[in-house]
Amino acid sequence: MDVTVQGLRLWEQEFPASPASARLARGAVRRTLLGWGWAPERIDDMVLICSELITNAIRHACRAGEVVPVRLQEIDGDCWLEVSDNRSELRPRPRPAGVRVDGQGLLLVADLSDDWGVTVELGAKTVWARLSGQPQHSGAGEAA
């Protein structure tokens, strides 16, 4: 679903809790942000953030048969990505850089985003990340 109301843009979709959904979510986020006119480098950042967050939800928090809701919101030049699951007792924590190959995704999210965090409500958890930066709408940079 993609909706625009008084300057707020909203897109959301549920993905099955399976490894293939990370690829599907990345493509959907990329298409949505392209349609909203975001700069390519910011789109790349958000797509990578999405990949990390949905992969974490699928690997660590979802059970077979569940879905992973993914939401994008743009308002006042900021874009928020939210990935939710039903395991509020499992809180994501970035692991310090070290020898391990896995476990570094949240450090990447922290590095790429302007802000990120976790909210817990009614037994569900949402991991979110925010990117700021005005989208480059068509016509930007043209002489007035």
pLDDT at 63: 81
11-27 mean pLDDT: 95
| pLDDT tens digits, 55-98 | 999 988 888 889 999 999 999 889 999 999 887 665 555 555 55
Residue among 65, 57, 68 nearest 90 (CA): 57
pLDDT at 99: 47
Distance (Å, rounded) from C-alpha 21 to C-alpha 5?
28
User: 89 or 132, which is more confident?
Assistant: 132
The four Cα atoms 86, 91, 92, 94 give a dihedral, to 10 degrees, of 180
* DSSP designation for 60: I
- Whether the pLDDT of residue 126 is over 60: the answer is yes
Distance (Å, rounded) from C-alpha 118 to C-alpha 40?
26
pLDDT at 143: 38
Whole-prediction pTM = 0.81
Mean pLDDT of the chain: 84
Q: Which domains does the chain have, with CATH numbers?
A: 10-132 (3.30.565.10)
